[in-house]
A and B are shown apart, each in its own frame.
Chain A
Amino acid sequence: MIKGIKGHRNHPLWYAYALHRVSGLALVLFLPLHFYVLSLALTQPQRLDAFLHWTEIPAVKFAEMGLVFLLSVHLLGGIRLLVLELLPWSPRQKTWAAVAAGGALFVSGAFLLNAV
């Protein structure tokens, strides 16, 4: 497992928890910015156009892949938690956590391939 992580945390389900928490916090920071940019469509259309032009830069597209990953990993991780807590118990919890992370990587990778 990962060197330097405290012993009691060094296991897949703790990583799944950490990823869910970090992605949630990152989305909290992203969403107000997102809504502000959308509001420019009503208030300052020229500035919105300039901003949309800026988002064509490949580096920004790459950063957008990160956003799509955060969104999909938080969505799939949230579904995983609902299944864990509300449906009959499955012993494959580590597998489901890996499926959520892998699914999010797939979705964000597909987004990047589509964008470039």
Chain B
Amino acid sequence: MANTNDTMTVKVWRGDKNGGAYQQFVVPRQDNQTVLDVVSWIQQNQDPNLSYRFACRVGMCGSCAMMVNGTPRWTCRTHVNKVLDANTLVVAPLRNLPPIKDLVADMDPFFDKWIDAGGHHDPSASRYDAMPQIAPDDAQRAVANESIECINCAVCYAACDTVAHNENYLGPAALQRAWTLYNDEKVNDTDAVLAAVSGKGGCHNCHSQGSCSLYCPNELNPMRAIAGLKAATIKHQLKRGR
């Protein structure tokens, strides 16, 4: 198929953890077409061996993120019109994570760090205690609410140069989760949250480049959350010193 206005060039990374290369496809253009549609078209019509990951197709599950023309995107809600550069799409597995095969990145380091940052619920009360009453317009609850829409897509993790240069760095998503927990009244030990994020690889490694906040598909602001953690850990340390 010749590359006319009705088609586009799509370069797809093929390979595994030992390395790989881009393979070129020519894909029909459509008026309404997402990057995930393009990848699916290639898998269904050109090469059934192409591996990629998706589930919900509506921006809820966070499994279809890939690098698109050098930028991490949720591919199910990224329109080709918006990102096509010189009639070409370059699609690769998420940066900063080891590739498993083709467009599938190994998410284990991302979720391991979610746990390392204290990203689990440590309740302040048992089932036999009364439920704490928290007003929806409570100032602290408002701060906690800012980041709860994270879908774990790892777009921020792939966008971050600090993650690329420091393998211990917990990354924007895990630190943002810790900030939510720190502001959650139902969490038992917020000092433990601060301890988990202030060590080696913690929030103070962040260089405030802001790529996480710029590319978060849900328009969350991990840079603001990490800045909050930085201030909270410093305040905590000063209080302890007195």
> CB within 8 Å of B: which residues of A?
6-9, 11, 13-14, 17, 81, 84-86, 89, 93
Contact = CB atoms under 8 A, between A and B. Distances in A.
A6 B208 CA distance: 18
Interface stretch (B53-61, B65-73, B117-125, B193-201): B65-73
A14 B209 contact: yes
A89 B146 CA distance: 13
Interface majority SS on B: helix, strand, loop or mixed? helix
A79 to B, nearest CB: 13
B72 A13 contact: no
A89 B224 contact: yes
Given A8-B71, A85-B208, A86-B234, A13 B214 contact: yes
B209 A13 contact: yes
A17 B231 contact: no
Contacts of B207: 17
B158 A85 contact: no
B159 A8 contact: yes
Contacts of A6: 70
28 contacts: A7-B70, A7-B71, A8-B70, A8-B71, A8-B95, A8-B161, A8-B211, A8-B215, A9-B209, A11-B210, A11-B211, A13-B209, A13-B210, A13-B211, A14-B161, A14-B209, A14-B210, A14-B211, A17-B209, A81-B208, A84-B227, A85-B227, A85-B231, A89-B224, A89-B227, A89-B228, A93-B210, A93-B223
B230 interface: yes
Interface string B141-171: 0000000000000000011010000000000
Given A8-B70, A8-B71, A86-B231, A17 B224 contact: no
A14 B160 CA distance: 10
Contacts of A81: 208
A14 to B, nearest CB: 5
